[in-house]
Amino acid sequence: SVAYKNVIGARRASWRIISSIEQKEESRGNEDHVTIIKDYRGKIEAELSKICDGILNLLESNLVPSATSAESKVFYLKMKGDYHRYLAEFKTGAERKEAAESTLLAYKSAQDIALADLAPTHPIRLGLALNFSVFYYEILNSPDRACNLAKQAFDEAISELDTLGEESYKDSTLIMQ
């Protein structure tokens, strides 16, 4: 999980930077630069697609079906949602719509299990709520839904913080921040 996150994180950051440069060059009317930048952005997008498709295939064929505990099911379904969300960040048209729908399905499945079986302070449940709210905000452009989801998770966790030991307390409050 961490290895994939590091690999994908670097490319997502590169994509954001190159997209920002592309917009600046377009506004300046530097068409020669824009052509080169678009080509490079396409290469980054191809790498992102390949990485996401690889981990999504692994999740779909092995990890999600073999998960037995609620914790591992939520973890892998959240991860599935995350990688579909990463695709939705740069895809367009029907591909973006499909990635967004797949993200929503994975996060909803994870949320159903998390709400039933994980404590409100559980780091995986909190991480899911955080990422799900980012999805609502950034991909679906629904800031109200994003804030409501995050606030509900925060409020539920706050009410149970006093039951945690020191290590769990640190893990949970870090995500809540």
- Per-residue pLDDT of 53-83, as tens digits, reads 999 999 999 999 999 999 999 999 999 999 9
Structure tokens at 158: 């706050």
CA dihedral 55, 56, 61, 62 (to 10 degrees): 50
Lowest-pLDDT range of 84-93, 97-106, 155-164 = 155-164
- Per-residue pLDDT of 99-129, as tens digits, reads 999 999 999 999 999 999 999 999 999 999 9
Determine the pLDDT at residue 177. Answer: 77
Three-class HEC string of the chain = CHHHHHHHHHHHHHHHHHHHHHHHHHHHCCHHHHHHHHHHHHHHHHHHHHHHHHHHHHHHHHHHHHCCCHHHHHHHHHHHHHHHHHHHHHCCHHHHHHHHHHHHHHHHHHHHHHHHHCCCCCHHHHHHHHHHHHHHHHHCCCHHHHHHHHHHHHHHHHCCHHHCCHHHHHHHHHHHC
* pTM confidence score: 0.93
Share of the chain above pLDDT 90, in %: 85
- The whole-angstrom separation of Cα 46 and Cα 138 is 21
